[in-house]
Amino acid sequence: MFPMWRITYVGAALQQGHWRAAVRGLASWIAKVGAPAVVVGVVMTVVWTVVSGSAARGLVIAFWVVLVVGVVLVAGGLWMWRVSGLVDKDIRARYDVLREVESARLLLRPPAPQDAVALAAAIDAEMLAGNGWTERNARVMVKAVRSGHPTPGLLVFEAWSDGALVGGATVHPSGSDASSRTLGWWIGPRHRRAGYASEAVAALVEAIHDAGFATVEIGTTESNLAVQRICDRIGATEKDRRAQPLPNGSVVPGIWYEHRQVTADKP
């Protein structure tokens, strides 16, 4: 079956108004697939007409209908595969800025399909509330991981000691500011209050800077004291307080922190 994420990516490309390129691309695939199909069709028509005469007329018409539909389906599928591949490449270049990050107790890495069950177990009501997610947001993420579909900017935290999935983080572009990335995270219910978030966030912030981004933005709510504490500890400074609309539809009093890369003074 055609993966859903590819259809979504094609839809996103079309929504951005790339209609002219889309029509050109589709036409070129129809030409590529259609040319050999027409040759096959003409040969079959000639053979059937010579062998069976006018008796083969119905068969010839049915064959051409199947051929045309087949060409459109195959060319359309190939075109969608190509467009979604290009969108995927573009999204990966913008989102997957970190491959693997190591800290004392954790390996922070992109998720694999076999993480899906542990990932689902690391999501509870507190995680949803802390990130302003709906249950559907979480289900979509777990399903994408299970199916091996793209999960742009998502990293999971694996404990070195026993391989347990401790939590996760997202690293996303900060609007149009190419020099900044926005970091969000959570720790699963079984592993909270053990210093994992402090450790993971410090390592992630350093890795994001090492990847060439001057600032890391962290958004939280006024009620999330743990995140505020972590931001203080890593040296992030409060940049803004404003009402924050969340994916679950709520609007909360938000705090935005910024961590700036410390550059060594020139001698």
Ligand X SMILES: CC(C)(COP(=O)(O)OP(=O)(O)OC[C@H]1O[C@@H](n2cnc3c(N)ncnc32)[C@H](O)[C@@H]1OP(=O)(O)O)[C@@H](O)C(=O)NCCC(=O)NCCS
Annotate 224-249 with DSSP letters as a single string.
Answer: -HHHHHHHHHHT-EEEEEEEEE-TTS
- Is the Cβ of residue 84 or residue 224 nearer to ligand X in the bound state? 224
Strand partners, 212: none
Closest distance between ligand X and the C-beta of residue 135, in Å?
A: 14
Question: How many residues sit in the footprint of ligand X (CB under 6 A)?
Answer: 23
Structure tokens at 211: 């990847």
Q: Is 186 in the site for ligand X (CB under 6 A)?
A: yes
Q: Which of residues 116-155 bind ligand X (CB under 6 A)?
A: 126-127, 130-131
Q: Which of residues 190-249 bind ligand X (CB under 6 A)?
A: 192-198, 220, 224-227, 229-230, 233
Q: What is the DSSP letter of 105?
A: S
Can you tell me which of 87, 118, 187, 255 binds ligand X, judged by CB under 6 A? 187
Residue nearest ligand X by beta-carbon distance = 130
| Cα–Cα distance measured from residue 176 to residue 17, given in angstroms and rounded to the nearest whole number | 19
Residues in the chain, overall count: 267
Can you tell me which of 25, 111, 150, 184 binds ligand X, judged by CB under 6 A? 184
The burial of 155, by beta-carbon neighbours within 10 Å (0-12 exposed, 13-18 middle, 19 or more buried), is given as buried
Closest distance between ligand X and the C-beta of residue 225, in Å?
A: 4
- Is the Cβ of residue 19 or residue 160 nearer to ligand X in the bound state? 160
E strands, 73-114, are: 101-102, 106-109
| Cα–Cα distance measured from residue 210 to residue 231, given in angstroms and rounded to the nearest whole number | 19
Site residues for ligand X per CB under 6 A: 126-127, 130-131, 184-187, 192-198, 220, 224-227, 229-230, 233
